[in-house]
Amino acid sequence: MTTDFLDTSFLKTDEITLSLNHAAPANPERGWVPAYHFDICDPAGEKMGACDLRLGYNDRLYYGGHIGYRVEEPYRGHHYAEKACRLLFQLAKKHDMPYLIVTCNPENAASRRTCERLGGELLEIAELPEDSDMRVQSGETRKCVFRFAID
Structural domain that includes position 118: 17-149
pTM: 0.95
**CATH number for 56:** 3.40.630.30
> What local confidence, expressed as pLDDT, does residue 132 receive?
87
Residue 76 CB: number of other CB atoms within 10 A? 13
Is residue 116's pLDDT more than 90?
yes
| Residue 138 host element (H or E) | helix 133-138
pLDDT, mean of residues 133-141: 89
Q: Is position 2 within any domain?
A: no
Is residue 57's pLDDT more than 90?
yes
Domain total of the chain: 1
- Dihedral sign for Cα atoms in the order 50, 79, 115, 85: negative
Length of the chain: 151
Q: Is position 97 within any domain?
A: yes
Q: Specify burial of residue 150 (Cβ count, 10 A radius: 0-12, 13-18, 19+).
A: middle
- For all residues of the chain together, what is the average pLDDT? 95
Q: Is position 33 within any domain?
A: yes
Name the pairing type of β-strands 67-71 and 142-149: unpaired
Is residue 2's pLDDT more than 80?
no
